[in-house]
Structure 1
């Protein structure tokens, strides 16, 4: 556990530095008559993340937290199995987006995640699996005018575009 905390903090700190460097490709300061530049939010968010990771490393060195003193195993067999199941389902979600779009992939993912991994009942599982893509559609496509990938299901959305757009 102790080693895992340090490795994670160091990797996340390095990633924070990369994100800060990458965000400077856009303006991170104040743009006259526009407000903060496009890189301001990611730069400062990554900066805060870097501070948090440095603090975690300091606490690790001082052995100030239970995790920094722990000699326990980081992941047991059950944790590894769950990590692979969750990670595999997220990879499958990303792959399905290219084929059946966000609005087809999200309900399948939610059904699997809530019913199989979460062992929730059918009513909340189906309710959330149906509600999630509907809410996502109205938020992104209708309200924000950000078109998400629809894959082979795109022709099903033409009537909705006629109504809402």
Structure 2
């Protein structure tokens, strides 16, 4: 595949440097939260390690690594990290996943899984309607049988399972 020679032909997207800076600043903020919480619990050594001793050490290492990522982001050449087309593909996968997680609480895992399968296979996979429906019915029932009945592992249930007596 040849590289575009004209600047108007280059793919548009998020610049690498901006993404790396954003990630590094997010990691620095998370390290700050870890350090704040660790020192609030006691990060010293008083006849032995206090509650926040080990998390504080990990927080300092985490902070150092995040600062290094930030420093490196200014030293490297900036190109395109991800094109807008690629970002759209990520959104097509992320959308049904966010819907799935949001529906677990009110509908239970099994009904949410059926909806996720329908959304994912329909939006991302473009599968035939009969295979989507068959999969959306069989997979949650098989998971219910395996986890609830065989292994006796209770998973989040919703109104449908309550109506069926589970």
TMscore range, shorter length: 0.5 to 0.7
Residue 3 of structure 2: aligned partner: none
Residue 7 of structure 1: aligned partner: 22
Secondary structure class of the residue paired with 1:69 = coil
Residue 162 of structure 1: aligned partner: none
Residue 104 of structure 2: aligned partner: 97
1:114–1:99: structure 2 CA closer, same or farther, 3 Å change rule? same
Query: Does residue 71 of structure 2 align to residue 58 of structure 1?
Result: yes
Give me the CA root mean square deviation: 4.6
Match of 1:82 among 89, 99, 123: 89
1:13 Cα deviation from its structure 2 partner: 1.6
**TM-score normalized with structure 1 length:** 0.55
1:77–1:58: structure 2 CA closer, same or farther, 3 Å change rule? closer
1:9 Cα deviation from its structure 2 partner: 0.9
Which structure 1 residue ranges, 5 or more long, are not aligned? Answer: 160-165
Structure 1, residues 74-115: CA drift from partner, whole Å, max 9, x if none? 442312322433332233123311321123213432454366
1:4 Cα deviation from its structure 2 partner: 1.6
Work out the number of aligned pairs and report it: 143
| In 2: Cα distance, 1:110 partner to 1:46 partner | 39
| In 2: Cα distance, 1:27 partner to 1:157 partner | 50
Which structure: greater helix fraction? 1
Structure 1, residues 128-161: CA drift from partner, whole Å, max 9, x if none? 94499459946xx946xxx5431213326755xx
